[in-house]
Chain A
Amino acid sequence: MTHTGSVKNVSRHAALGLSDERAVHMYEKMQLTRKFDERAQLLQRAGKVNFHISGITQEPSQVAMAFAMNLENDWFLPYYRDYGFVLSVGMTVKELMLSLFAKAEDPNSAGRQMPGHFGSKRLRIVTGSSPVTTQVPHAVGFALAAKMRGEQSVSLVSFGEGSSNQGDFHEGCNFAGVMKLPVIFVCQNNGYAISIPFAKQSAGRIADRAIGYGFPGIRVDGNDPLEVYRVFAEAHKRALAGEGPTLIEIMTYRVTPHSTSDNDLAYRTKEEVDHHKALDAIPAFRAYLTELGLWSDEKEAELQARIRKEIDEATQYGENAPFQPVEDAFRYVYADSAPEGEGR
């Protein structure tokens, strides 16, 4: 295609069909996620909450993949580090704080599950558990239902590289491949399954496993959110066109310990962690936007103040909110109200 008139360099995000506003919005979500995560760690260290599991350094790619999805039609099966993803599809910091403090108003589980176990029908986020990778066949089931009903819907399911060794990963990929279902399988390869480095988890590339299941597998640099957006948008398009699943391996690095219960320096060096901290994609994305004139120090200050306020308010709200009454322990084991045998 040739353009006449003034010649202007098209920015990377514009070339991908992302408006300036959306690109800036992505950056804001990355920052919001980072600040939430840092606060959660602080709250755990201060003894205010029992447990936190961090997604720091994985946020840029999580935000990017969410921005490539259709929030009205798609189904989301995130894993426990996907704060950037769930915040980008509509969950609020207040809701995450309610989950962190395990309070009744937590929409994910009313404070029944550990934080990071997302679920919200309203946001099309499917409830998840702790045994890893069980969500992969579920995503395939959502895609199967979509195909049966003729709906234009894609299932996105994410998991870690350690989890990708579970049978459910392979069984789910195989099923979706055979039936050409609209699923995007996302391996967030952050280098460690708790203490086990990738080299001891797999002798090959996770992305290459897709070949065995008859669909494309793509490895992408998690520190390049625009490239992540591009491959997800492409996978989404393939899925809707009836071309079947895609496996995307996002190469990232877990700079935090596995969870607040882990001492990572027992199995890796500070130098290694520092090396990866220096590769953080958030400052790089800020520099990118600044260079294009879409961002400034003033805007940054305003954003940080806004995020600070939102997190402070959410923290206070979460801390003060009531727990679910213990008598409610017996609620929702089954559908209490529906007469048996009269399921509709």
Chain B
Amino acid sequence: MPVMEYIEAIRTAMKDEMERDNRVFVMGEDVGLKGGVFGTTKGLQQQFGEMRSLDTPLAESAIAGVAIGAAMAGMRPVAEMQYSDFMFPATNQIISEAAKIRYRSNNDWDCPVVIRAPIGGGVFGGLYHSQCPESVFFGTPGLKIVAPSTAYDAKGLLLSAIRDPDPVLFFENKKCYRLISDEVPEGDYTVPIGKSKVMREGDDITIIGYSMPLHFAMQAAEELSREEGIEAHILDLRTLQPLDREGILEAVSRTGKVLIVHEDNKTGGVGAEVAAIISEELLYDLDAPIRRLCGPDVPAMPINPPGEKHFLLNKDKLKAAMLELARF
């Protein structure tokens, strides 16, 4: 199986699906001739032409709104927000429109749109090129939200997202783009939306998270195994909405100790809902209080290197939190 970069997996998913289904097209700022500011859509305009790899005016609400209209008209648009930090002008279109179109029309209309947006820091992007906006959209019924951590899941989830009959927010981690590579099958496969995945098995502590921080957890887990004999069980949520309740409960039951991690800030984050689910269902099976390790509750991360490092999670922060939980 070929090893592929995370960004290449995303590009391949779009390319494959555009070859397979001529209703699929990508649109956004700089996605056409340039191939995206990160290169995610590189080559698509050359292969599919200007209309199917569509450079749009710089206006996020129109990018989302026009994609929503095209989706209602029967197309399968993949709209790109250049940075998730810039998708807030499109929030009204996403929350008031895309999320409610099926419901408000009593199933007469639907909105099979995909909105891709790069999340996360670690690229010296400062306050407005680093954010994780998941919690803004999380808890909006009618939306599906996915956030892959591996190249395999990035391709499989994007194919599922494009084929999904409902609106899907696809939060890809920009730090993962070229840092993360793994085996990706050639050709068609999907990763189901709504299903988590066990990344590592263990019996001492459970780590639940999504996107980039899970790679720190994996590195920390290998060291803890080697150095302390502590075996971590790591669950990748992959889909944030709908959350995989069964997967969460099964992973927590395995160890009775759980640490929830994400880069989005702690208060009101996805982790809070995961903790609530565990509390509702498994409180008396826990051997330690539920822990969360998340971005701090400050507006966003600064560009200065010490400040960015302070904001972000890393292997050492994960390792310390995991060790403390194991020793509880």
Contact = CB atoms under 8 A, between A and B. Distances in A.
B192 interface: yes
B112 interface: yes
B73 A141 contact: yes
A340 B164 contact: yes
Interface string A70-112: 0000010000000000000000000000000000000111101
Contacts of B57: 171, 174-175, 178
Given A340-B194, A343-B112, A127 B105 contact: yes
A117 B66 CA distance: 20
B285 to A, nearest CB: 29
Interface in A168-182: 168, 171-172, 174-175, 178
Contacts, number: 158
Contacts of B66: 137-138, 140-141, 144, 172, 175
A309 interface: no
B165 interface: yes
A142 B72 CA distance: 8
A339 B201 CA distance: 29
A109 B104 CA distance: 6
A139 interface: yes
B254 to A, nearest CB: 25
Contacts of A267: none
Given A142-B73, A334-B102, A172 B108 contact: no
A329 B117 CA distance: 31
B70 interface: yes
B49 to A, nearest CB: 10
Interface string B134-149: 0000000110100000
Contacts of A142: 69-70, 72-73
A174 B81 CA distance: 18
Nearest to A104: B106
A299 interface: no
Contacts of B166: 334-335
Contacts of A242: none
A339 to B, nearest CB: 9
A110 B104 CA distance: 8
B65 A136 contact: yes
Given A121-B109, A332-B103, A168 B69 contact: no
Contacts of B106: 109-110, 112, 324, 331-332
Interface in B101-123: 101-110, 112
B163 interface: yes
Interface string B66-101: 111111111101000000000001001100110011
Nearest to B239: A340
Given A341-B164, A341-B190, A134 B109 contact: no
A144 B165 CA distance: 20
A113 B104 contact: yes
B198 interface: no
A21 interface: no
Contacts of B164: 340-341, 343
Interface in B144-197: 144, 159-160, 162-166, 190-194
Interface string A157-197: 00000000001100110110010000000000000000000
Interface string A127-148: 1010100101111111111111
A136 B164 CA distance: 25
Interface in A313-335: 324, 331-335
Interface string B248-269: 0000000000000000000000
A10 to B, nearest CB: 39
A344 interface: yes
A141 B103 contact: no
Contact of A340 (B65, B69, B193): B193
A137 B57 CA distance: 12
| Residue of A75, A142, A146 with highest tally of chain B CB at under 10 A | A142
B100 A168 contact: no
A113 B21 CA distance: 34
Nearest to B157: A341
B65 to A, nearest CB: 3
Nearest to A126: B72
Interface in B29-87: 51-52, 56-57, 59, 61-62, 64-75, 77
A178 B61 CA distance: 16
A343 B68 CA distance: 16
Contacts of B21: 344
A167 B72 contact: no
Given A110-B106, A137-B69, A143-B69, 9 more contacts: A109-B105, A109-B106, A119-B108, A129-B96, A129-B97, A138-B69, A140-B62, A144-B69, A341-B164
24 contacts: A112-B106, A126-B69, A126-B72, A127-B108, A129-B100, A134-B92, A134-B93, A134-B97, A137-B62, A137-B69, A138-B69, A140-B62, A141-B72, A141-B73, A142-B70, A145-B74, A148-B51, A168-B61, A168-B92, A340-B164, A340-B194, A342-B163, A343-B164, A343-B165
Query: What 7 pairs between A and B have smallest CB-CB spacing?
Result: A141-B69, A137-B65, A138-B69, A171-B62, A343-B163, A145-B73, A110-B106
